[in-house]
Amino acid sequence: MTTVGVMEIEELERSLRGAVLLPGQPDYDDARKIWNAMIDKRPAMIVRCAGAADVRAAVNFSRDHGLQLAVRGGGHNIAGSALVNDGLVIDLSMMRSVQVAPHKMRAWVEGGATLRDVDHEAQAYGLATPLGINSTTGVGGLTLGGGFGWLTRKYGLAVDNLVSADIVIANGERLHTDIDSHPDLFWAIRGGGGNFGVVTTFEFALHAVGPMVTGGLMVFPFAQARSVLRKYRDYVEALDENISVWAVLRKAPPLPFLPAAVHGSEVVALAFFSPLPSEEVNGAVAELRGFGEPVGEHIGSMPYVAWQQIFDPLLVPPARNYWKSHNFNTLSDAAIDVVIEYAGNLPSEQSEIFLGLLGGAANTHAPDEMAYPHRDALYAMNVHTRWLEPAEDAKCLAWAREFFKAAAPHAAGGVYINFLNEDEGDRIAEAYGPNYRRLKEIKAKYDPDNLFRSNQNIRPGP
């Protein structure tokens, strides 16, 4: 690391509305905590930005002093890209403004906002945009990688709803980008991750959603897993875009609608969501019920904001997390058998395998329309290994890696960039497929020295 003098740091502080946090200061250790407790890095400084001018100052300071740079939005990225040892972290957590224009069906969202922030403001007008499934996730990182969730089948990915963005690039310039202004950069940030700069504001298209939607869980015993998953596969291949159903295999949490005898046992849970009123989807719910003999069910009308937060208790920090992921265009019987084999041998109480359902509006775009290329994928399967004690690391990591290897022959070959761990740099080209070469060219144009490299890095190239 380049040594930075006290006077230089003080000069940076005077240029900010925000603050600089240094090792040993009272707020430093809290500021370097992120969602994945496996990541423990010590930046040389954390710049808490209060606005775009602060971001520009921090980018310039990092570049001019040879400091490795990381950008923190919500701090949820599994790979821990929000932090860097001995470098400078741009912390956007103070920049959480969300401005909604209901008559225009638009929202302007600052780079540090979370899903909860956007949902809170947009739902005041009965509006929403497709984002993720955990309300504490940062909008920025999720969107830059593609972004999918419960509204994806109806309205597409987060990047499909991104109208424009303001971004600070490596030379410190702040650009406004959309399909007409710097269109190559706009193409790249819709799925290319944080490789091209710091987005200070996102503009999203909004859609009429809620305030009441239909959602809930239907839970089957693990003994019925093979039959349930095969019927689930056939069910979703012809599913209406107004309905999304994810399959989750895990040990049952102590949910009040499940018998006490089921708590802690392996189950298959089908998470059902629709923006339609419950009376319009009763038939679809009844079809799920026919997949087997449920041990518990709780599906009905609820506020959209409540549904967006319903899985938060399963993801509360601190915990150690490790993911492995594949995309699937279809689920073969052999793939289902692999899922069942490993779900029957979970390495910890909180580990799970989930099949996130895509399709619908997400698959109506061409693979080269923007950087996110996986327009044939019907499922994003994530092996979510989660545990508390470092002593369990070896067991949990081995289980995830073995399952990933066993599932690979049945997968489509692609992977969702936001699900990659920090040890999976060799899969970046796989994540971008035919778009990788163009991304390298755009990287060379806007960040030729690879200042923004604390991410799933796209190196500048010809």
* 3-state DSSP of 10-53: HHHHHCCCCEEECCCCCCHHHHCCCCECCCCCCCCEEEECCCHH
Average pLDDT (115-126) is: 98
333 has pLDDT over 80: yes
Q: Is the peptide bond before 23 cis (omega within 30 degrees of 0)?
A: no
Query: Which domain, by its residues, includes 12?
Result: 6-91
Number of domains comprising the chain: 3
Confidence of residue 379 (pLDDT cuts 50, 70, 90): very high
Q: Is residue 441 part of a domain?
A: no
110 has pLDDT over 70: yes
C-alpha closest to that of 349 among 429, 253, 213: 253
Q: Is residue 109 part of a domain?
A: yes
Q: Note every long-range contact of 405-409, with CB atoms under 8 Å and residues 24 or more positions apart, other chains counting.
A: 406/338, 406/341, 406/342, 407/326, 407/335, 407/338, 407/339, 407/381, 408/326, 409/334
Share of the chain above pLDDT 90, in %: 99
Neighbours of 462 (CB within 10 A): 6
Number of C-alpha atoms within 13 angstroms, CB side, residue 75? 24
Q: Is residue 443 part of a domain?
A: no
Are 229 and 341 members of one domain? yes
Calculate the average pLDDT of the chain. 97
Q: Is residue 191 part of a domain?
A: yes
Are 238 and 156 members of one domain? no
Here the tokens at position 455 are: 């991410």
Share of the chain above pLDDT 70, in %: 100
Neighbours of 297 (CB within 10 A): 18
The CATH number assigned to the domain holding 217 equals 3.40.462.20
Are 356 and 310 members of one domain? yes
**pLDDT tens digits for range 390-442:** 999 999 999 999 999 999 999 999 999 999 999 999 999 999 999 999 999 99
Average pLDDT (153-174) is: 98
Q: Is residue 281 part of a domain?
A: yes
306 has pLDDT over 90: yes
- pLDDT value of position 462: 84
Q: What is the DSSP letter of 167?
A: E
1 has pLDDT over 50: no
**Beta strand extents in 280-388 (DSSP E only):** 296-303, 320-328, 352-357, 379-387
The SS3 of residue 228 is helix
Among residues 194, 209, 224, the one where a domain terminates is 209
Among residues 60, 91, 122, the one where a domain terminates is 91
Average pLDDT (345-356) is: 98
Are 48 and 139 members of one domain? no
- CA R_g for the chain: 22
Confidence of residue 2 (pLDDT cuts 50, 70, 90): low
**pLDDT tens digits for range 187-222:** 999 999 999 999 999 999 999 999 999 999 999 999
Can you tell me the distance from the alpha carbon of 304 to that of 132, in angstroms, rounded to the nearest whole number?
A: 13
Q: Is residue 261 part of a domain?
A: yes
Confidence of residue 3 (pLDDT cuts 50, 70, 90): confident
Are 328 and 366 members of one domain? yes
